Structure 1
Amino acid sequence: MQMATVMMATALFSRASAKVLSLLVLVHFTQLSHAVSEPGKWILNVNSKTHDNDALYLFTKTLFNGSVINLKWLSERCEDNNTVKFFVSWYLRSSRCYDEVFSLDNRKAHEYFNKTSVIQEGGAGSYITHSYKSTGCRKNVPGNVFAVKPLPNPTQLITKESSSGSQGRRRRDTSSLKPLRTASTTKEKSSTPDSEIHNSLSAETQYAVARTWEDGPYMFILKIVVLPSDATWDFQLEVRMTGPHGYISATEWPLMIFYMVMCIIYVFLGLLWLVLSASYWRDLLRIQFWIGGVIFLGMLEKAVYYAEFQSIRYDGISVQGAVVFAEILSAVKRTLARVLVIIASLGYGIVKPRLGALLHRVVGVGLLYLVFSIVEGILRVNSAEDDLLLLAAIPLAVLDSTLCWWIFVSLAQTMKLLRLRRNVVKLSLYRHFTNTLIFAVIASVIFIIWTTKTFKFSNCQSDWRELWIDDAFWRFLFSAILLVIMFLWRPSANNQRYAFSPLVDEMSEEEKEQLMNEGFEGVKMRGLKAEANGAAKPNKVDEDLKWVEENIPSSMADVAIPPLLDSDEEIMTTKFEMSKME
């Protein structure tokens, strides 16, 4: 009765958790934010065929305090050098709201260019604007033609509040702007970043047009007016945003550190698993090879992501091929990990020697998950439209929730079989494994609720410093589950106690253990009764056949009976009957 109650509770939890997780994942993806790295360098090609004098060019990035914005003239070509004039102006603005800055495009930039007041509620900040005199299209224009010396100070944005408290707060904020900039300059001088980054920052100050005054999201809007409008021309500009850590953004700097730490951890885990596997290579289980493959893919994935962030840090641009390769690696790793959990929950190599008909289902689900993961990852890194990305994310979320339900149902069935067999060692292993997965599901639900409330349903995403956690949490949770699986299925001298063994042999071994187990009272102990007056034992074959019919299902009896019929007595009987026929 107690076992049936536990089974029912596990099944109900698996079904409820799958439904809740599916719903929360769908809500989590309703307002997707692109996981594309923020570049630090842009090359702007402008020509008379595509340029419009009313057009604006928008550049957004989260920057550290004291970062430098550089504007460099690269090249030019004009048919009439004497008449073509360029009128360039720019506008730099900060905001507390991450979504206000990164939801802009070139068309919406007109609502912000040269504005002096707060537009979105909660989007307080400061701004700097600058306009240049006309620049003629001539040969050998110096690259630092747009440099501004000295660098201008920011001006506080005007808020819509009219209360005295808010006015006093604005006065305090305005009075603190200049000391804030001075502090950032002092901090930059006193800090000791890498020599290469420090030298590049010093070399680029000749192209500097502005310096940031606080950590936060920034928009840099560039406007170019060319007269006369019917002239033929083209020129090239370069925009760079460098900080104390190079070109990497303030939101991705902690994520890069996270990937570096995780890469080191995976290297140690891989070495540890390799040493243990080499020490007990004769007794390795099939599932332990799967675990080794997941560790290797995880280590490779973290290394590729870290190398990608290093490329952005030093070069300012993202290598698209490396990003796509990292997403494919991540998809393969997650697929292999889910297949690992599925076959472990089914009891492959533990309670059954092969999957049989379930093998095709496991392979099909794995391939389906791999395809959905690759499509969703490539669309995400290629800045696809939100509707298209949502269309790719919904099937992935539903499939993930279905896998969650299947895993818990399979675990319940496997644990039921282990209880019937009275296998304490394997039952304890699967109980710990189930508790780990339940903890992972609960942690996932709590985290999705928190991120949805903090980042998706917030009018002003002021907690932009925690954005890196949205990506790092899932990597960390995956690594934690993998670490538990490694501990439970670690190679050891007692590996074979977890391996599959035939039912009859397993029962005879367990019956010997039951003599010392007080928890299994009342179990019939075959073959241990004392013989009366030295009388011969009853027919062992008949006794075994009777026990099999009473305790073993017919499908398993087909496997267990043949060895019982191959006794010496049965062979002699068969020969005797054949001799009578002759």
Structure 2
Amino acid sequence: MCRHHHESGSVPLVVSCLSVGPFFVLLVRMAGSVGPGLTGSGFCCSAVLLLLLLLLAARPGLVRAVSEPGKWTVDVGVENQKPQYFVFRKTLFNGSSIHLQAVPQNCSPSSKMEVSWYLRNSHCYNEVYKKNLNPEIYFNSVLVVAEGGSGAFTNHTYKPISCQIKPYIFSVAEFDLPVALKNPLPPPSSSSALENSGRRRREAKKPEPKAAGGSSNQSDFDIVARSWEDGPYMFIIKVQKTGTGPWRLQLQVSMKGPHGFISATEWPLMVFYMVMCIGYVLLAVLWLVLSACYWRSLLRIQFWIGGVIFLGMLEKAVYYAEFQSISYEGLSVQGAVVFAEVLSAVKRTLARVLVIIASLGYGIVKPRLGALLHRVVGVGLLYLLFSIIEGILRVHTDRGNDDRSLIVCDVVLALTDSCVVWWIFVSLAQTMKLLKLRRNVVKLSLFRHFSNTLIFAVIASVIFIIWTAKNFTMSRCRSDWREVWIQDAFWRFLFSVILLVIMFLWRPSANNQMYAFSPLVDADSEDEEEKEPMMNEAFEGMKMRGTKTETNGTARPNKVDEDLKWVEENIPSSMADIALPPLLDSDEETQTTKLEMSKME
């Protein structure tokens, strides 16, 4: 399942396919080699589980791009008369206000500065956030540039200002109605017509400290424009010096809507994180109560599940706090964002390690990992390192731009995912075969109940990926900008649903030991089990003769023949030999199978 975690570019999409491509080949071959029966369906669904855990735990952190700030501060250094352009992009609610102020740093009294701005919206989300947007093409343009990018614009040009004018607050007395963009099919007009189309609005006098125009809110003085509909906007500022001598100043731009400085695309995401944080708190409390009630019989995997719940709760809380900071302050706390990315990387690594040790049969068919423990730790540390680096680079990468170092980290993570997926399915195939040999109905039934949820999750994932590719990845004009937040929320929600099902199936209870590791029954215990049904009979001699007959070997060959017959009927070896000879019939597994059969004998 290919992911799309940047707003543009096909490289990340191709890179993500590298980590999933081997899975589909392996899954198809495994599905044909397992054969019919209960375990076959359980095996396929277990394979699907591994894909989901790997993708759902990893992709949410990669889907999310850098949050849109609500305030910007840019330094303008004008040494010559060449104009400078500054672009600010944000999705705004209807009625959002745009503020503009200037703070001179160093200027010459003889020089003056001419400031003008241009506000434009587009119905195409990718037009506003496209890579390498040229502001000179869009500034004061009255035509539709991108196909389907209809919208409107408004602009304003101020009179040249000097250093002595204070305060440096740009405002307008009235907000003119926006002008709809024209279709580019007619021949373009002359440059003089374009200049005349730029409407000059009446200048407002610079407000004095006591002259507030009847408004008590000082922040209203610097409003230069308001949005006229929900959607993505680009705000372009042009600065040009008209005199002699150097001049340096700072431009402070802010965009505030009805919900604060947060953008229209991230407002639903903030609500989503709030709900998810509350949900994870409730799940953590419930898991803690159940673990306290049955603390004597807790399994190792239940501690891992508790760790994933705790990290998920902490991650959602940090992301929600970040969006709250953007909503109130307009700026993202850089340390909080990096901390959230580190938490996300730790959670994804923990999920991978959990799936690896579960596929190896740790706590199910083997009590310890032995030499494999070093490999598991090595793979986990490798993935954790590159995942943290990738998250930090993504935080410092502008929206819509693909940094080369970020792509390198994506490639490394994709290759690591491929190795992890292959290792997981090789180990899972061996574990499922051992469970078949032991005829452990309880553990196989656990996989069967879990398969229904996995099938639903796979179908939902495929449908969502097709929908995302159609509306976002392959669309020239992304008009459904209101659904951008779903790209992040869907994978986190689906991972939470699967985690909830895992919590239900492996919940702490009085029957915990039914799913724990249990060694094979030896010959002495089998003799005791065969004698037990006859303990209540009054004929002690018959019971002794039965024991003596078993000791001489009259009943044992029948038991072995019955086991061998069951294995031959339920485990199709021919398909496995043809389809996956190195995977299911390796020397190590052959020795393991012989060892299991010798223990059964």
After TM superposition, the score normalised by the length of structure 2 is 0.74
Match of 2:253 among 217, 233, 239: 239
For 1:18 and 1:448, the matched residues in 2 are separated by 18
Q: Is the 8 A contact 1:411 1:430 kept in 2?
A: no
Deviations 1:487-515, CA, capped at 9 Å, x for gaps: 11100111111111221179969997xxx
Give the corresponding residue for 2:387: 373
Give the corresponding residue for 1:5: 36
Q: Is the 8 A contact 1:15 1:405 kept in 2?
A: no
Match of 2:465 among 448, 459, 462: 448
Give the corresponding residue for 2:114: 87
Query: For residues 503 and 104 of structure 1, do their structure 2 counterparts lie closer, same or farther at Cα, with a shift above 3 Å needed?
Result: closer
SS of 1:118 mapped into structure 2: coil
Query: For residues 400 and 335 of structure 1, do their structure 2 counterparts lie closer, same or farther at Cα, with a shift above 3 Å needed?
Result: same
For 2:527 and 2:127, the matched residues in 1 are separated by 66
Give the corresponding residue for 1:280: 294
Alpha-carbon distance, 1:413 to partner? 3.5
Aligned residues: 499
Q: Is the 8 A contact 1:201 1:242 kept in 2?
A: no
Alpha-carbon distance, 1:546 to partner? 5.9
Give the corresponding residue for 1:68: 97
Query: For residues 543 and 260 of structure 1, do their structure 2 counterparts lie closer, same or farther at Cα, with a shift above 3 Å needed?
Result: farther
Match of 1:142 among 157, 167, 171: 167
For 2:326 and 2:471, the matched residues in 1 are separated by 28
Amino acid at match of 2:500: L
For 2:45 and 2:299, the matched residues in 1 are separated by 30
Amino acid at match of 1:345: S
Give the corresponding residue for 1:206: 221
Match of 2:595 among 550, 555, 559: 555
Alpha-carbon distance, 1:394 to partner? 3.1
Deviations 1:469-503, CA, capped at 9 Å, x for gaps: 11111111111111111111100111111111221
For 1:16 and 1:339, the matched residues in 2 are separated by 17
Mapping for residues 377-392 of structure 1, pairs under 5 Å: 377-383=391-397, 385-386=401-402, 388=404, 389-392=406-409
For 2:523 and 2:416, the matched residues in 1 are separated by 37
Match of 1:58 among 71, 87, 102: 87
Mapping for residues 154-553 of structure 1, pairs under 5 Å: 154-160=178-184, 202-229=217-244, 231-383=245-397, 385-386=401-402, 388=404, 389-504=406-521, 528=533, 533=542, 535-536=544-545, 537-538=547-548
Deviations 1:332-361, CA, capped at 9 Å, x for gaps: 101111222222233321222112333233
SS of 2:309 mapped into structure 1: helix
Q: Is the 8 A contact 1:423 1:510 kept in 2?
A: no
Match of 1:44 among 36, 61, 74: 74
SS of 1:119 mapped into structure 2: coil
Query: For residues 505 and 20 of structure 1, do their structure 2 counterparts lie closer, same or farther at Cα, with a shift above 3 Å needed?
Result: closer
Query: For residues 554 and 458 of structure 1, do their structure 2 counterparts lie closer, same or farther at Cα, with a shift above 3 Å needed?
Result: closer
Q: Is the 8 A contact 1:34 1:383 kept in 2?
A: no
SS of 1:210 mapped into structure 2: strand
For 1:497 and 1:509, the matched residues in 2 are separated by 19
Give the corresponding residue for 1:108: 134
For 2:492 and 2:260, the matched residues in 1 are separated by 25
For 2:302 and 2:71, the matched residues in 1 are separated by 45
Alpha-carbon distance, 1:410 to partner? 3.9
For 2:253 and 2:185, the matched residues in 1 are separated by 35
Question: Percent sequence identity over matched residues?
Answer: 59
SS of 1:5 mapped into structure 2: coil
Deviations 1:248-271, CA, capped at 9 Å, x for gaps: 000100011111100000000000
For 1:423 and 1:12, the matched residues in 2 are separated by 18
Deviations 1:160-180, CA, capped at 9 Å, x for gaps: 357xxxxxxxxxxxxxxxxxx
Q: Is the 8 A contact 2:119 2:235 kept in 1?
A: yes
Give the corresponding residue for 1:183: none
Query: For residues 421 and 498 of structure 1, do their structure 2 counterparts lie closer, same or farther at Cα, with a shift above 3 Å needed?
Result: same
Give the corresponding residue for 1:577: none
Query: For residues 276 and 22 of structure 1, do their structure 2 counterparts lie closer, same or farther at Cα, with a shift above 3 Å needed?
Result: closer
Alpha-carbon distance, 1:409 to partner? 4.7
Q: Is the 8 A contact 2:53 2:495 kept in 1?
A: no
Deviations 1:200-239, CA, capped at 9 Å, x for gaps: 995422110000000000000001111225x122112210
SS of 1:386 mapped into structure 2: coil
Q: Is the 8 A contact 2:338 2:392 kept in 1?
A: yes
For 2:354 and 2:522, the matched residues in 1 are separated by 27
Give the corresponding residue for 1:126: 152
Q: Is the 8 A contact 1:58 1:222 kept in 2?
A: yes
Give the corresponding residue for 2:16: none
For 2:250 and 2:425, the matched residues in 1 are separated by 59
For 1:287 and 1:33, the matched residues in 2 are separated by 28
Alpha-carbon distance, 1:369 to partner? 2.3
Q: Is the 8 A contact 1:18 1:405 kept in 2?
A: no
For 1:225 and 1:203, the matched residues in 2 are separated by 28
For 2:182 and 2:53, the matched residues in 1 are separated by 43
For 2:241 and 2:33, the matched residues in 1 are separated by 83
Query: For residues 3 and 392 of structure 1, do their structure 2 counterparts lie closer, same or farther at Cα, with a shift above 3 Å needed?
Result: closer
Higher mean alpha-carbon deviation, 231-240 vs 439-448, is at 439-448
Alpha-carbon distance, 1:4 to partner? 3.5
SS of 1:135 mapped into structure 2: coil
Alpha-carbon distance, 1:405 to partner? 4.8
After TM superposition, the score normalised by the length of structure 1 is 0.77
Alpha-carbon distance, 1:116 to partner? 0.5
For 2:76 and 2:81, the matched residues in 1 are separated by 10
Alpha-carbon distance, 1:119 to partner? 0.7
Query: For residues 371 and 558 of structure 1, do their structure 2 counterparts lie closer, same or farther at Cα, with a shift above 3 Å needed?
Result: farther
Amino acid at match of 1:85: K
Query: For residues 325 and 48 of structure 1, do their structure 2 counterparts lie closer, same or farther at Cα, with a shift above 3 Å needed?
Result: same
Amino acid at match of 2:35: A
In structure 1, stretches of 5+ residues that fail to align are: 163-199, 513-524, 562-582
Q: Is the 8 A contact 1:304 1:326 kept in 2?
A: yes
For 1:487 and 1:507, the matched residues in 2 are separated by 37
Query: For residues 509 and 124 of structure 1, do their structure 2 counterparts lie closer, same or farther at Cα, with a shift above 3 Å needed?
Result: farther
For 1:219 and 1:555, the matched residues in 2 are separated by 69
Give the corresponding residue for 2:195: none
Query: For residues 503 and 120 of structure 1, do their structure 2 counterparts lie closer, same or farther at Cα, with a shift above 3 Å needed?
Result: same
Query: For residues 546 and 119 of structure 1, do their structure 2 counterparts lie closer, same or farther at Cα, with a shift above 3 Å needed?
Result: same
Structure ranking higher on relative contact order (CA contacts 8 Å, 6+ apart): 2
For 2:414 and 2:527, the matched residues in 1 are separated by 43
For 1:201 and 1:35, the matched residues in 2 are separated by 38
Query: For residues 509 and 279 of structure 1, do their structure 2 counterparts lie closer, same or farther at Cα, with a shift above 3 Å needed?
Result: farther
Amino acid at match of 1:132: Y
Amino acid at match of 1:109: P
For 1:96 and 1:148, the matched residues in 2 are separated by 26
SS of 2:305 mapped into structure 1: helix
Query: For residues 417 and 435 of structure 1, do their structure 2 counterparts lie closer, same or farther at Cα, with a shift above 3 Å needed?
Result: farther
Mapping for residues 24-43 of structure 1, pairs under 5 Å: 35-43=65-73
Higher mean alpha-carbon deviation, 545-554 vs 271-280, is at 545-554
In structure 2, stretches of 5+ residues that fail to align are: 1-31, 187-214, 564-591
Query: For residues 16 and 250 of structure 1, do their structure 2 counterparts lie closer, same or farther at Cα, with a shift above 3 Å needed?
Result: closer
